[in-house]
Amino acid sequence: SLVGSEMCIRDRTNTYTETIVHRVTGALRAKRVTVQNGENDYTETYIFYEADGVTQKARYVVQTKKDEAETWTEDVTKEATE
């Protein structure tokens, strides 16, 4: 189970950043960055980290849009980690 704390930051460019850190070690475990590209369009990037809090384990990008018929669609891409 994940033991940690969560923090959310919103800036003026409609970018939201949430992080989860290990409560004891302080190591970064996960991060989600949401960018609102328009009223019905946003991109979320999910990054998961190894126990060291530095090495990326997995990275996903979710592009979400609402069309003229009010239907939401999501396109999920798993990106390579370095």
pLDDT band at 6, cuts 50/70/90?
low
For 14-28, how does the pLDDT look when each residue is reduced to its tens digit (9 = 90+)? 888 899 999 898 899
Pair 44, 32: CB distance under 8 Å: yes
CA distance 1 to 8: 21
pTM score, whole prediction: 0.77
Pair 19, 45: CB distance under 8 Å: no
CA distance 36 to 30: 20
For 26-49, how does the pLDDT look when each residue is reduced to its tens digit (9 = 90+)? 899 999 999 988 888 999 999 999
Percent of the chain with pLDDT over 70: 83
CA distance 36 to 12: 11
Pair 76, 61: CB distance under 8 Å: yes
